[in-house]
Homo-oligomer: A and B are copies of this chain.
Amino acid sequence: MQVAFSAEDIAAIVQPKSARGSTSATIRGLAALRDAAPGDLSFLGNQKYKADVAGTHASIVLLPADFAGDPQPDQLYLLVDNPSVALARICARIESLLWPKPSPGVHPTAFVDPSAKVSASATVGPHCVIEAGATVGERTYLQANVFIGRNATIGTDGWFMPGVVIAAESVIGHRVRLQPGAIIGSDGFGYEFVNGRHEKVPQVGNVVLGDDVEVGANTTIDRARFSRTSIGEGTKIDNLVQIAHNVVIGRHCIVVAQTGISGSTTLEDYVVLGGQSGIAGHLRLGKGTKVGAQSGVNGDTEPGAFINGTPAVAYTLERRLVVLYRRLPEIFKRVDELERHIRVTE
């Protein structure tokens, strides 16, 4: 990230209510208050780090308007309504430098089947492949080596990073961001055991991703046996997650990295799954359920449940069991003592 902002550039972006101090430094990075070096911009986004402001080496610090205290030499305080919002504006500026808007059009090395319909405002990058009957919506950006299968439908304003695979008949909403290597629509894993062999059960459904969904790098989402595997609007999925056939994920869920969800399970809206958790098949997790990292869930949950462990139980019980588990040596010793005492007193 070769950014280089002057103090004036930063002030122009964040429009501070007032300022204290000054700096001649060129801002080349962003960092937390404690980690910042001269040349960095930092910010007070959470009051619990207030004590770190006085000692920070950042050249510019974004602070709430009511912050009391004075900068060090060659340090500039910019006082704003909301430092996190101000920071987000700077990040948005950096994003536009990191990833400049691509020009629309189909790269000469891409292959687009003549029957596919690609919006004139979309960008199809080098070595992308678009099969027959697929459609790509306005301003969607297929970066490079992206594959769009037969009859897949892609909405507007998407960004599909290098190596993304969208299998045949998938339906993708608007503003969907797919990280590199994400696979949408691989076959579900279903076999019937016949005469000592696993015969494949055809997987002829598809995958439907709602608007504003994000899918992480190398995550895999399987097509349904029939009907659809579906991910609701606004749901965010991290890297290396496995979502099996016929799973239904509600709106605005969070699925952290390396989690696996088995076939035909339903997540209602606002469910949060911690990293490396595993959810058995044919379950229903109620609205807003939270599952701790590495948990193994083998039963339905009520709305608002917070569960942890393998097999997962209520979080508070699980924390208590963990403490008692570590006291197993003690309980064995105490029972030894009791037995000895009884033998002696008989």
Mark A residues whose CB is within 8 Å of B. 1-2, 29-31, 35, 84, 88, 91-92, 94-95, 98-99, 107, 109, 111, 125-127, 129, 131, 143-145, 147, 149-151, 161-163, 165, 167-169, 177, 179-181, 183, 186-187, 189, 191-192, 196-198, 200-202, 204-206, 212, 214, 216-218, 220, 222, 226-227, 234, 236, 238-240, 242, 244, 252, 254, 256-258, 260, 262, 275-276, 278, 280, 293-294, 296, 310-311, 313, 317, 320-322, 324-329, 331-332, 334-335, 338-339, 341-342
Contact = CB atoms under 8 A, between A and B. Distances in A.
A186 B216 contact: yes
A180 B202 contact: no
A92 B202 contact: yes
Contact of A144 (B129, B187, B254): B129
A234 B197 contact: yes
A249 to B, nearest CB: 13
A91 B260 contact: no
A111 to B, nearest CB: 4
Contacts of A202: 88, 91-92, 94-95
Contacts of A238: 189, 242
A17 B193 CA distance: 26
B186 A179 contact: yes
B163 A165 contact: yes
Given A220-B218, A332-B331, A239 B186 contact: yes
Contacts of A254: 191, 198
Identical copies of this chain, number = 3
A214 to B, nearest CB: 7
Across the A-B interface, give the 6 residue pairs with the lowest CB-CB distance, nearest first. Answer: A30-B226, A91-B202, A186-B217, A147-B162, A324-B328, A217-B220
B296 A296 contact: no
Given A226-B30, A240-B220, A169 B234 contact: no
A166 B179 CA distance: 12
B327 A325 contact: no
Contacts of A296: 276, 293-294
A260 B280 contact: no
B257 A242 contact: yes
Q: Which of A92, A169, A180 neighbours the largest number of chain B CB atoms within 10 Å of its CB?
A: A180
Contact of A335 (B220, B258, B311, B335): B335
Nearest to A328: B324
Contacts of A167: 161, 180
B258 A242 contact: yes
21 contacts: A1-B169, A1-B205, A30-B226, A95-B202, A98-B168, A126-B129, A145-B145, A186-B239, A189-B216, A189-B238, A189-B257, A197-B212, A197-B234, A198-B236, A198-B252, A217-B220, A220-B240, A260-B276, A294-B296, A313-B326, A331-B332
